[in-house]
Amino acid sequence: MATRSRRPDRRQEPLSRERIVEAAVELLDSVGESGLTFRALADRLATGPGAIYWHIAGKAELLTAATDAVVAAAVRPAEPGGAPGDGVRTVALGLFDAVEEHPWLAAQLAAQLSRSPWGTVAPRIFESIGREVRALGVPEAGWFTATSALMHYILGSAGQNAANTASAAAPGAGMERAEFLDAVSTAWEGLDPDAYPFTRAVAEQVRGHDDREQFLDGIALVLAGIVALHPPVAQPAVTVVR
C-alpha cells in the first residue's frame, strides 16, 4: 500500500522574528546568500513562507536583521577595570572573529554601511567603538575622526582577511593557509628589485605571519596615533557626598 511522505513536524514554540533571524544566519553560514530563500527558510523552520512574511517583509530586511544580530553578538563590551584600550581591542576582535566565522558577513557589512548607514548596523558598530574611544579620554572634538579611523581599519582588515581565507579555500585552489602565504611571499620575492624594492624587502614577513597578531598590532598603531593627536583630557573628579 502506498504511503505518503510525512512533512517535518512543526516546532511547538511560536514562530518569532528572533527564531527566523537565527535560522537565516544558519542558512547563510551553510549555503551563502544565494541559498537564503524564504522557501529554504520555511523548510528549516517547518512552517509556511506566509508565516515568515508576517514577521519579515522580504529578503533585504532579512539580510539586514541577520547582519545586525551577528554584529550585536560580536561587539559586547570588555570587562570593567582593564587597561586603556582594552575595550577597543575587545570590540575589534569580536568583529574580526565574526567576519572570519561568517563568510557572508563582510559583503553584507560593506553593503549596509554604503547603502543604508542610517539603518541599525552602522550605528551599532560606530556606537560600540565610539564609547571605547570616549573612555580613552579623547577630547570630544576628536571622537568622530578617531572612531571613523578605527571602524575603517577594523572592517577593512577583517574583510581582507576573510577574502584571503575564502580565496585559499576556493574550489580548485587546493591550498592551506600556509601554502597560500608562501605562494604570496615567493611571488613578491620574485618582483623586479628596481620597481618593488620595499615589497621584496618585506616578502619574508608575509610567510607564516599570524593574522590576529598582525590585526592587533594595527589596532595598537591606530590607538597610538589617536592618543598622540588627541591627548586624553582629565576626567572630572567625583565628589562623594557623605
**pLDDT score for 83:** 83
Amino acid at 27: L
The residue among 123 and 49 whose pLDDT is bigger is: 123
Grid coordinates in use for 21? 533571524
Per-position DSSP letters for 111-139, written without gaps between them: HHHHH-TTSSHHHHHHHHHHHHHHHTT--
**pLDDT score for 171:** 63
CA torsion angle 64 65 69 71 (round to 10):
10
User: Lowest-pLDDT range, 11-25, 42-56, 193-207?
Assistant: 11-25
Residue range 79-229 forms a domain whose CATH class is mainly alpha
Burial (CB count within 10 angstroms: exposed 0-12, middle 13-18, buried 19+), residue 77: middle
CA atoms of 82 and 136, how far apart (whole Å) = 11
Q: How confident is the model at residue 172 (pLDDT cuts 50, 70, 90)?
A: low
**pLDDT score for 239:** 57
> Is residue 204's pLDDT more than 60?
yes
> Is residue 173's pLDDT more than 70?
no
The residue among 137 and 175 whose pLDDT is bigger is: 137
Q: How confident is the model at residue 241 (pLDDT cuts 50, 70, 90)?
A: low
> Is residue 16's pLDDT more than 70?
yes
Contact 128, 93 (CB under 8 A): no
Where in the chain are the domains?
79-229
User: Lowest-pLDDT range, 12-16, 143-147, 169-173, 212-216?
Assistant: 169-173
> Is residue 79's pLDDT more than 60?
yes
